[in-house]
Each structure stands twice: as C-alpha cells, then as structure tokens.
Structure 1
Amino acid sequence: MILPDGYSDVPAGKIAAVVTHLEMTAPPARRDDPPGAWSLRKVEAPPLPWYRDLHRRVGEDWLWFSRARMTDMELAAIIHAPGIEVYALAVDGRDEGLLELDFREPGQCELVYFGVTAPLIGTGAARFLMNRALELAWSRDLRRVWVHTCTLDHPSALAFYQRSGFRPFRRQIEIADDPRLDGTAPRTAAKHVPIIE
C-alpha cells in the first residue's frame, strides 16, 4: 500500500518512523580507525542477561524494542542460531557497543544491530566498530551487506551509514506500539519521540 500525499493519522499508543534500508554490493574503500583504546570480541552463545543488558544500554534511547519484547526462548532461537554472530565493543574492560551480524542468507550479511552506548557517541568508537563490521562481513564470499535505520535512531545514523559506503535502496513507514506505554521501555526513553496517549 502506498500512503497518499499529505498527513496520515498515527493512532494513540503508537509510534511512527521512516525506515531507510541501505546496502553495499562491494567492499568500500577502507577508512582509518580513529584513535582510541577499543577492542572487539566475539561472544559465543551470548548469555541472555548479558545480551539484554547491552542491547538496552545501546538502544533504549532509540527505542530498540523488538528484542526486548521477546521471550527468552524467542531471543535465544535468534542469537544462538547458526549464521548469527554477536560481538561486543569493549573499552576499559566494559562492553559498550553491540554488533550483530546475520549470515543466514547465502551471499548476504545483514548488520542486524549496530551501536555504541551514549558516552561513546562522537568519540570514534562507532567508526572503529563499523570498520570491524565491514571487515568481518566482507571476509566472507558475499555479494551484499545491508542494514536499516529509522528516524527514531540517532540523527546522524543515516549519514554515518552512507559515509561508510552504504546506499539507500528502500524507504518504508513503520507503525508500532509505543514500548514506553507497555513497560518494555521506561517512559523517559527517547525524549525526542513524542508519546501519543
């Protein structure tokens, strides 16, 4: 369905976002790492409490809610599946960034989750993490790496992905239940997104 020009109502209790899907079909030019004491580690069979904590700390301000709504069984079925790789960006012995790669579709890699905690935004940590993500992805026999972001995300996210070599190929409108109204996220999360009650 194509939305008509003009205004479309967003029902009470919902949030709306413009989602941009981006892809690259060849490895981009390598970008230098910014200075910083970050490291990346692969987390084998990620423990659910660890994953939920890091996912929340990275994504709560941007209303990352789909994984938060999953049962432990649903979440484990995804993050422990063959072809899913989870990495943590560590600084000073603490995990402060999340990278989740999905290689389940032959010839493709989706950057399912990518982000750093609020104190690391603007420090170069995300560039370091993206450099590692692209190295990991393109070390495989791929024809495509893709990611999506939305208008609930950090305002610089779309431009960051484009600077990293991704090109938009699709835009969609997403309507969902506001996670701040059902307790999935605190009401104080994502102050840049109005709550419609």
Structure 2
Amino acid sequence: MAIAENGARLAPGFHALAAGDLAAVVTALEMREAPASLRRLVPEQDVPLQLVRWKAPDLAKYRLLFRRVGARWLWWSRLALDDAALGAIIHDPQVHVFAVADRAGVEVGMLELDFRKAGEAEIAFFGLIPGATGKGFGKWLMRRALQMAWGDKDVTRVWVHTCTLDGPQALPFYMGQGFVPYARFVEVFPDPRGANARGERLLGEEAPQVPLLEAGAAA
C-alpha cells in the first residue's frame, strides 16, 4: 500500500512526523566487564593530546565546546537546558567532564563520564571536532574513558548510546571497542535548527546532510 498523498494513511512500517520534527534510531550499548586490553601494559601512543578535567565547568565554555564537537551531528540536549538545569548536571561531583586539548592547549574534543547511578558509568558524551577525527585519536580517547570508568571499583557496567544522526562510523567503532548492543528505539524530537516556541534556534545551519523541514515550509 502506498503512502496516501494527504498523509492520512501510511503503509505498514511508516510513522508520521510533525513538521519540524526529526526521528533517529538510537542504539544503546553496554560492557559488563573491563576489556582484557585494559589490564595489559601497552606502549603509550604518541598522541599529541591530553585530557583536562573541568571541575564545575563554566557553563558558557561548556556549551561552546559541546557545540563545536557535536553540532555537526545535531547534539542538542544540553543546549536546550537553562543554566540551573545544566549546572545541576555538570557541577554534580559524580559527573566528570574533560576537555581534550592539543599541545597548544586548544580544546579539540570532549569526554563526559556520568557515575550518578550506583554501579554504572555512562559515557554520556564522547567526541572530537571535525578537524581532529580520522587520525586514530578516538581509540586513544576511548581507552582513557574506559580506564577511568572501570577504575571505579564499584562499577560493574559501562554503557553508551549512539544514533543514526551520528557519523556512520560511530556504531562500528563502539562495537569494535567491546561494547555490545542491547536495545534499539526511535527518538523523535524538534529539529534544533528550527525555531522553538520562543522563536529561538539551538543550532544554526549545521548538519547539512540532514534536511531541515520546518512547519509551514513550502513543498
């Protein structure tokens, strides 16, 4: 059965979206024990990067780095939070925020580990700016993330999620690092590049690979 032109009837497997909304398939992955590679001594990679812990990060500085790293993939969730809500998360002592900095001290990526749920560590955000990708730095950053996550003696599970708006290499990368998919679901949310109820836009013209179809747009 074809999709009706008026949108009233959809073929099986199709689901209507409101104008201005996006849908993504989310895959959640987990690791129930530390990889054996973490217990082995391996030569230190010659990586011109370092992790810098941001304790009680400045909100504006955090938002700027979050956007630099994630705008290409439509990271939006933290940009939608007001100062109080954002501060309640990233100033929590169980949330560890790191900037990835080059040798000149320029931030080129971020890592955020969330230990707020007992016995678990979530890799909440993990990424590099476009100019720093494709150089093998992701494996270095993941090793650091896993070392810190499993370094907590109470942690019995480390998990992460990715979606179809992320780069196509994200899911294979996580699986290649030892994460196992355990759930998939569809997330629907307002396109952060479109105007919200207050007329604000969380993002600009980022992610040109994803068409922006706002409400009232011409066909």
Does structure 2 conserve the Cα–Cα contact (< 8 Å) formed by 1:35 and 1:124? no
Does structure 2 conserve the Cα–Cα contact (< 8 Å) formed by 1:101 and 1:111? yes
The one of 166, 182, 190 equivalent to 1:169 is 182
Moved more, 173-182 or 121-130: 121-130
- Deviation for aligned residue 1:34: 4.8
The one of 136, 145, 149 equivalent to 2:148 is 136
- Deviation for aligned residue 1:82: 2.4
**Is residue 123 of structure 1 aligned with residue 141 of structure 2?**
no
Post-superposition, which runs of at least 4 consecutive aligned residues in structure 1 deviate over 6 A?
Answer: none
CA distance in 2, matches of 1:82, 1:49: 19
**Structure 1 pair 151/34, CA: closer, same or farther in 2 (3 Å)?**
farther
**Is residue 21 of structure 1 aligned with residue 28 of structure 2?**
yes
**Structure 1 pair 19/65, CA: closer, same or farther in 2 (3 Å)?**
same
**Structure 1 segments unaligned to the other structure (5+ residues):** none
* 1:181 paired residue number: 194
- Deviation for aligned residue 1:11: 1.6
* 1:83 paired residue number: 94
Q: TM-score, normalised by structure 1?
A: 0.93
Does structure 2 conserve the Cα–Cα contact (< 8 Å) formed by 1:60 and 1:185? yes
* 2:209 paired residue number: 192
The one of 144, 148, 158 equivalent to 2:161 is 148
Give me the identity figure in percent.
Answer: 45
Does structure 2 conserve the Cα–Cα contact (< 8 Å) formed by 1:38 and 1:90? yes
CA distance in 2, matches of 1:97, 1:81: 21
**Structure 1 pair 154/34, CA: closer, same or farther in 2 (3 Å)?**
farther
Aligned pairs, number: 193
Q: For 1:8, what is the secondary structure of its paired residue? A: coil
CA distance in 1, matches of 2:45, 2:69: 20
Larger Rg: 2
**Structure 2 segments unaligned to the other structure (5+ residues):** 1-10, 196-200, 215-219
CA distance in 1, matches of 2:101, 2:86: 23
Q: Which has the higher contact order (CA 8 A, sep 6+)?
A: 1
